[in-house]
């Protein structure tokens, strides 16, 4: 890293930014999952071949970004993504804002589905199919579908080839797909019915996009999201009971 003769490399960015980005990538990619302890400063200076100052500055950045938590004498630990928001997602107030979010998402994603049907490239089409298959795989494996559900919606937004649609979804994060996580904690039979209905709705959307049928894609997405709103209202109407159950559990 002290090689003279690479001044142009130096101008492209500092060692601190480089180490920061690499550590950040490792955290976000799951190489260091939440709760994991990063290598010590001494180890990082060796593995990145930089001084401890550079490592400390990089960690200071990640710390300020609330990606990590540094404990003196112990180590640097990856923080969970949004600890407070996880709990908040399960209380009554957040369920209300889920409906508001759906109210905004509905016109946007209906438009996105229609545009995706008109504009998707073959690669984007395959990507959408992949995402749908991944949801189905998660359902069959009994794993949470939230991330893969989000990925499908994101792939559709990207197939509009107007970056603003994907940007909007990303800005909401996986909270844009909140209902699955609430439902994962209810009874199994009702859950399977829900998952297969969800999958059927996704399939309709995906086929319409694949067929390049704008109107069918819009209608399928509209039905899907209106269905999500209804399912949420049912949760709210049955949700008081379920939350009482939780209160007794906690």
What residue ranges bind DNA (CB under 7 A)? 1-2, 4, 7, 10-11, 14-16, 38, 40-43, 49-54, 56-57, 59, 63, 70-76
Distance, in Å, from the CA atom of 141 to the CA atom of 59, rounded to the nearest integer, reads 37
Q: What are phi and psi of 178, to 5 degrees?
A: -85, -25
Distance, in Å, from the CA atom of 122 to the CA atom of 60, rounded to the nearest integer, reads 43
Nearer to DNA, 41 or 201 (CB): 41
* Most distant pair of Cα atoms in the chain: their distance: 69
Nearer to a copy of itself, 61 or 138 (CB): 61
Radius of gyration of the chain (CA): 22
With CB cut-offs between 5 and 8 Å by kind, which of DNA, a copy of itself, none does residue 194 bind? none
Give how far the C-alpha of residue 101 lies from the chain's centroid of Cα atoms, to the nearest Å.
15
Distance, in Å, from the CA atom of 138 to the CA atom of 74, rounded to the nearest integer, reads 37
With CB cut-offs between 5 and 8 Å by kind, which of a copy of itself, DNA, none does residue 50 bind? DNA
Of residues 22, 65, 130, 185, which one binds a copy of itself by CB under 8 A?
Answer: 65
With CB cut-offs between 5 and 8 Å by kind, which of a copy of itself, DNA, none does residue 106 bind? a copy of itself
The structure tokens listed for 192 are 């399977």
Note the residues at the interface with a copy of itself (CB under 8 A).
16-17, 20, 53, 56-58, 60-61, 63-65, 100-101, 103-104, 106-108, 110-111, 115, 162-165, 168, 171
């Amino acid at each position: 890293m002290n090689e003279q003769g690479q001044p142009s490399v130096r101008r492209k960015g500092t060692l601190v930014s480089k180490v920061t980005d690499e550590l950040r990538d490792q955290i976000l990619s799951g190489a260091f999952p939440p709760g994991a302890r990063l290598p010590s400063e001494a180890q990082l200076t060796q593995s990145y071949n930089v001084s401890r100052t550079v490592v400390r500055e990089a960690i200071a950045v990640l710390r300020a970004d609330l990606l990590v938590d540094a404990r003196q004498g112990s180590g640097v630990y990856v923080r969970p993504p949004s600890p407070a928001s996880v709990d908040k997602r399960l209380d009554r107030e957040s369920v209300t804002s889920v409906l508001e979010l759906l109210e905004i998402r509905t016109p946007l994603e209906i438009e996105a589905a229609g545009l995706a049907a008109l504009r998707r490239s073959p690669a984007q089409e395959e990507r959408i199919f992949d995402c749908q298959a991944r949801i189905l795989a998660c359902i069959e494996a009994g794993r949470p579908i939230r991330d893969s559900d989000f990925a499908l919606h994101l792939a559709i937004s990207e197939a509009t080839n107007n970056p603003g649609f994907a940007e909007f979804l990303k800005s909401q994060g996986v909270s844009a797909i909140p209902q699955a996580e609430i439902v994962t904690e209810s009874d199994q039979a009702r859950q399977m019915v829900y998952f297969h209905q969800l999958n059927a709705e996704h399939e309709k959307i995906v086929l319409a996009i694949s067929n390049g049928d704008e109107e069918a894609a819009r209608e399928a997405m509209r039905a899907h999201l209106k269905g999500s709103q209804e399912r949420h209202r049912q949760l709210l109407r049955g949700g008081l009971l379920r939350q009482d159950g939780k209160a007794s559990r906690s």
